[in-house]
Amino acid sequence: MKLGDGVEVAIHCVATLAGLEPGAAMPASALADFHGVSQSYLLKHLAKLTDAEILTSASGPSGGYQLARPADRITLADIVVAVEGQQPAFRCAEIRKRGGNPLPDNAYPLPCGINRAMLRAERVYRSALAEVRLSDIVEEFVSESDPRVIARGCAFLEANQRRRK
């Protein structure tokens, strides 16, 4: 299974926003620059995260994006579903019923076994993502990262967050 590149970008941006001071926001342009993606590409994903109520956004000089709820109430599953949608990754097209000399539908009284197996795997995968909170990711990052990486992130946050007055 391959998730779209937007999932990685979304998770990194949401994790970055978890480091903001309370009430502060981050402009999309800064997030795009920090993660090396185009702003227009990022804005599509930030809009999906906002629609899913993972982020909030505000316009104006102190505007930007921030978490809509605490990091311990956002899971990786929330982010993946926001970006990729509710549909399962595998979508059965019932090709077993096509091809040369196809049989009538009544020859297939049971649901496709391949589809059932793939949907079971999807449920396990999504369940595993639902167990990982954004706060877990951030805590792991802080405890395991090279101090230079942490310093870079802290400097970025300090320079780019917009504090409300």
8-52 pLDDT, tens digit per residue, is 999 999 999 999 999 999 999 999 999 999 999 999 999 999 999
Per-residue pLDDT reduced to its tens digit, 129-160: 999 999 999 999 999 999 999 999 999 999 99
CATH topology of domain 5-88+133-160: Arc Repressor Mutant, subunit A (1.10.10)
85's tokens: 């949608």
The predicted structure's pLDDT at residue 30: 97
Average pLDDT of span 111-123: 93
**Residue 1: pLDDT band by 50, 70, 90 thresholds?**
low
Residue 89 scores a pLDDT above 90: no
Looking at every residue in the chain, the average pLDDT score rounds to 93
pLDDT of the residue at 2 = 67
Mean pLDDT of 59-83: 94
Give the side-chain half-sphere CA count within 13 A for 37: 20
Half-sphere exposure of 58 (CA within 13 A, CB side): 15
pLDDT tier for residue 165 given thresholds of 50, 70 and 90: low
Q: What is the pLDDT of residue 164?
A: 72
Q: What is the pLDDT of residue 3?
A: 78
DSSP-assigned states of every residue in 7-34:
HHHHHHHHHHHTTSPTT-BB-HHHHHHH
124 pLDDT tier (thresholds 50, 70, 90):
very high
